[in-house]
Amino acid sequence: MISLKIPEVKIFMAKLLTQEVFDTFIVKDMELVTFTSFKMNGSFHKGFFTEEELDERVEKHATLWSDIRSIAFAMIRGNKTPLSLKIVFQLPRNLTEKLMERLTGQMNVEDIGGLYMNVRFEKDVLHIITGTAIKTFTLDKTLEQEWDSKVKEILKHQGIIYEE
């Protein structure tokens, strides 16, 4: 687990809300505070969709950032900064599997509960905090270190400056 401070908040928020940078991530939880509080738990209700719509989805049983990005943008729109924003992103299974291919360890994809990236904005300070959930006990920190490196790589690739 690492905590990265994002000094250029406006640049990050623009990428988060108007670009596809995080669109493939699953949204597990989101809380946005502006003039009121907006909360979303990320649960997915497949009954809302037709079979054809479900077939078109990459993640058939999860809410992706691409599903709600425009809604979040609409809630924040304006020249006022939100009082706070908290988003828990999870790396989708197919990308978790790709990350696991690079590792040569004892762990299987089924052992991973999730790879998380927590975005926290409060009092004009923005942090990204990584996290891993592993279903079995292990002293091996290779996956955690690999995920931390991957998050830094994603940010760097997008031109997002961070401080450790």
Q: What is the pLDDT of residue 8?
A: 95
The two structure tokens encoding residue 33: 């505070």
Q: Alpha helices, DSSP H only, in the chain?
A: 9-18, 51-56, 65-76, 93-101, 142-157
- DSSP at 49: S
Q: What are phi and psi of 69, to 5 degrees?
A: -55, -45
The Cα–Cα gap between 115 and 130 comes to 8
pLDDT, tens digit only, all 164 positions of the chain: 999 999 999 999 999 999 999 999 999 999 999 999 999 998 888 889 888 888 888 777 889 999 999 999 998 876 778 999 999 999 999 898 888 887 766 677 888 899 999 999 999 999 999 999 988 887 778 889 999 999 999 999 999 999 99
- Residues 53-77 as b/e (b if ≥16 CB within 10 A, e otherwise) read eeeeeebeebbbbbbbbeebeebbe
pLDDT of residue 143: 87
Give backbone dihedrals phi and psi of 67, rounded to 5 degrees, phi first.
Answer: -70, -30
- C-alpha span between 80 and 73 (Å, rounded): 12
Q: Which pLDDT score, from 0 to 100, does residue 63 have?
A: 92
